[in-house]
Amino acid sequence: MATYKGTIGILTGGGDVPGLNPAIRAVTIRANREGYRVIGLRRGWAGLVDMVPEKNADNGANFQSLDEDDEVNRAARTGGTFLHSSRTRPSHLPKNVVPPHLCDLYTDDINDLTPTILKNLEYLGIDYLIPIGGDDTLSYAHRLHTEGVNVVAIPKTMDNDVPGTDYCIGFGTCVSRTIQMVHDLRSTAGSHERILVIEVFGRYAGFTALLPTMAGAADRCVIPEHEFDIGQLTELLVDDRNRNPSRYSVVLVSEGASMSGDMSFEGEGTDQYGHRRLGGIGDQVASQISDISAKYNNGTRVNVTSQRLGYMVRAGAPDALDSIAPMAFGNLAMDLVINGASGRLVGIRNGVYDSVELDVVDGPHKVVDVERYYNTDRLRPSYEMFGGTPLFLS
């Protein structure tokens, strides 16, 4: 019977992004070669919520053993997460989703299943937990760390807004895809001489709109950090269009941007972290630009097209950056595990791989420094003072 230095549990929570599978591969291969056993916890925190800690229970949907085999290596070339994901929040679980075998223990409308999570981690013999996720997933990871669980976390989010790191897994592919898709859409905008409004990800932070615009994908961008005036935006876009020989202009709109201080949502429901589903600001902006465009175009109305990129920027295989950075993050996490560190978040700080205290995830979101990087008069990035700035301006 094989003996191990310890057992590592790894999970992916929240929205999927390209780069998750390379991170899982990096942890698995390094851990195996260092003499550790690896257990993949399936569907984020849901696998630990739903598992039945009994020898003969069917827990195939909740966890699996990982080793250096074809599945792990093959998956690393693909997007998404082969361990699957969820937005389950064990500390705030609604009564209607408490597993049947726990219904007698948890009867409140909202329940904290942390005692069960701790028992299940102990049952699996997990010595170290490596969660990969955004601030929601990692905030619960920090909770487990305060309960005595050894945790080393890896940041993931397309919005790149996890504090404590310059870079989060998924951001590079998101920016690359956004630039490519916007350039592809230009043919339609130019053919019909339209203003093109493109909605992109970004609930609290506007990096996914700012950087593609800075790279030349759009004429203007509006971001969550700055409430914008629709008349100002329309005037700028009409002028951009009229100066363009192909007679079109482009604006990127962060999903969390607002004209009135209120975000645009799809429906009233929330997830277990209290987030309503964002969406619709792009259509609203397009409609209002169309309505008032004549005012800024000598009385002639301009046709406007609205497109939401949505999940297309998070689908498919990771780009080069989201293949390399997750590899480094996984190995950095294992460095910390081997050295007995806990309560750490790996990442990139000032362009260098590093780690910080995990409690940073309970602080404010990382957002665009408007004064430094965004021209509020022109509704576009600032192009001065690049010396000494982080690679991704965050």
Is the separation of the CB atoms in 154 and 333 below 8 Å?
A: yes
How many CA atoms lie less than 13 Å away from 141 in the CB half-sphere? 33
What is the SS3 assignment for 190-234? HHCCCEEEEEECCCCCCHHHHHHHHCCCCCEEECCCCCCCHHHHH
Integer Cα distance of 19 and 80 in angstroms: 7
Nearest-5° Cα angle at 287, 281 to 288? 90
- Note the residue count of the chain: 394
Burial class (CB in 10 A: 0-12, 13-18, 19+), 41: buried
What is the SS3 assignment for 86-128? CCCCHHHEEHHHCCHHHCCCCCCCEECCHHHHHHHHHHHCCCE
Tell me the three state secondary structure of residue 353. Answer: strand
Active site annotation includes 271: no
Which is catalytic among the residues 136, 159, 166, 322?
159
* In the block, residue with structure tokens 């630039």: 179
Task: Write out the catalytic residue numbers.
Answer: 159
